[in-house]
Amino acid sequence: MEIKIEKTEHPGKLGNLDDVAFGSVFTDHMFLMDYYDGEWHDARIVPFADFHIHPAALVLHYGGEIFEGLKAYRTAEGKVQLFRPEQNIQRMYNSAVRMALPLFDKEFMLEALIKFVEVEKDWVPSGFGTSLYLRPFMFGIDPKLGVHASKEATMCIIASPVGSYYAEGINPVKIMIEQEDVRCVIGGTGEAKCGGNYGASTRAGERAEQQGYSQVLWLDGVERKYIEEVGAMNVMFKINGTVVTPELVGSILPGITRKSIIEILKDAGIPVEERRLSVDELVTAMKDGSLEEAWGCGTAAVVSPIGEIAYDGVKYTINEGKIGELTQWLYDELTGIQWGKKEDKFGWITKID
């Protein structure tokens, strides 16, 4: 399918991002494509604008929505590049399967994403740590209240320039183990990147914030015994020299940052285990000091060190509340590849220009 391009007559300008909240300013254009009659139609890049939506549209009632998040980076030489974009497209495809949304041609979507970034490349900020955040998403719009799989949908990509996540330095966060709400269960939609998972998890995050914590640490939804994720990030612990991260049992989002870190650790010969990790084992490791480092990982923050974990009203400090040596090294390795300061030895970079 050909991608039509209609440029705006009122182009905006990339301003200073220092005091801009994450994801609150958008570029000039968006990518759109419509699904009906069993096919995708009219792929186009058009001026950024509001949607018109039928009040009975499926997404507004039954939550038929999936999304992705990735970044375009500007290197010190001024070039624009993406980090493993084919992984995001594959995950979006898997999410569409799980949510009974229309499937799409993965190669075509990757091409559309790249073309969109080419059109918006002047919006990719320069400066280490800054990026153009890309948000592909799809939602069902069938204008009927009957519950069924979506037969009409909109595919869209929007983009938002973002400043450095760590403008004030990498400060370890305090997190709280959530004991009431659960994010999802095996067989549910935890593996899919869908808006519904966020709808279910927002309350716990808000309550944690009121108590002075920046995220919750989720336990599995059945036994409330195994560690799953931290906020909207995957989580890793360095215990006695070995990195332990929850295995992808079906209720955990398969993060691309998580996968990349595992590959970097294996390549460096650092022991890493993907397995179930119980909250009891974690508490024991915090008490006896064998928990050396802990961090969350995801596209937005890359790596987010954890300095304190609260459980059952008890607070445990990790690595004296400071960022660990391995956490810092992983941050440097990943961001080095993403911003083009380090050799792309795993072949993860897609160059745009």
The CA dihedral of 169, 14, 194, 177, to the nearest 10 degrees, is 20
H or E element at residue 94: helix 85-98
| CB 274 within 8 Å of CB 243 | no
**Under rule CB under 6 A, which residues in 86-145 are in contact with ligand PLP?**
none
For the record, the structure tokens of 29 come out as 């254009």
Among 256, 291, 306, 310, binds ligand PLP (CB under 6 A): 256
Neighbour-count burial for 138-166, b at 16+ CB within 10 Å, e otherwise: bbbbbeeeeeeebbbbbbbbbbbbbbebe
Return phi, psi of residue 49, to 5°: -155, 165
Is residue 189 part of the contact set for ligand PLP (CB under 6 A)? Answer: no
Provide, rounded to whole angstroms, the least separation between the CB of residue 295 and ligand PLP. Answer: 12
Among 163, 195, 255, 305, binds ligand PLP (CB under 6 A): 255
* Candidate ranges 10-18, 126-134, 143-151, 229-237; the one touching ligand PLP (CB under 6 A): 229-237
Is residue 229 part of the contact set for ligand PLP (CB under 6 A)? Answer: yes
Is residue 319 part of the contact set for ligand PLP (CB under 6 A)? Answer: no
Q: In whole angstroms, give the CA distance from residue 219 to residue 179.
A: 7
Residue with smaller CB distance to ligand PLP, 48 or 166: 166
Residue with smaller CB distance to ligand PLP, 40 or 67: 67
How much is the CA Rg of the chain, to the nearest whole Å?
A: 21
Among 189, 234, 335, 338, binds ligand PLP (CB under 6 A): 234
Is residue 243 part of the contact set for ligand PLP (CB under 6 A)? Answer: no
Helix axes 106-119, 85-98, angle to 10 degrees: 130
Is residue 335 part of the contact set for ligand PLP (CB under 6 A)? Answer: no
Provide, rounded to whole angstroms, the least separation between the CB of residue 19 and ligand PLP. Answer: 25
Is residue 253 part of the contact set for ligand PLP (CB under 6 A)? Answer: yes
Is residue 85 part of the contact set for ligand PLP (CB under 6 A)? Answer: no
Is residue 257 part of the contact set for ligand PLP (CB under 6 A)? Answer: yes
* Candidate ranges 104-112, 151-159, 254-262, 276-284; the one touching ligand PLP (CB under 6 A): 254-262
Q: In whole angstroms, give the CA distance from residue 220 to residue 206.
A: 19
Neighbours of 195 (CB within 10 A): 18
* Candidate ranges 40-48, 96-104, 236-244, 248-256; the one touching ligand PLP (CB under 6 A): 248-256
Provide, rounded to whole angstroms, the least separation between the CB of residue 163 and ligand PLP. Answer: 18
| CB 338 within 8 Å of CB 83 | yes
Among 45, 80, 232, 334, binds ligand PLP (CB under 6 A): 232
| CB 32 within 8 Å of CB 154 | yes
**Under rule CB under 6 A, which residues in 62-81 are in contact with ligand PLP?**
69
Among 80, 193, 243, 295, binds ligand PLP (CB under 6 A): 193
For the record, the structure tokens of 198 come out as 């966020």
For residue 29, give every residue at least 6 positions away whose Cβ sits within 8 Å of its Cβ, in sequence order, or none: 7, 8, 45, 46, 47, 48, 116, 119, 120
Is residue 299 part of the contact set for ligand PLP (CB under 6 A)? Answer: yes
Q: In whole angstroms, give the CA distance from residue 202 to residue 50.
A: 25
The count of residues interacting with ligand PLP (CB under 6 A) is: 13
Positions of E strands within 15-68: 29-36, 39-47, 65-67
Provide, rounded to whole angstroms, the least separation between the CB of residue 83 and ligand PLP. Answer: 10
Amino acid type, 269: G
Site residues (vs ligand PLP, CB under 6 A): 69, 193, 229, 232-234, 253, 255-258, 298-299
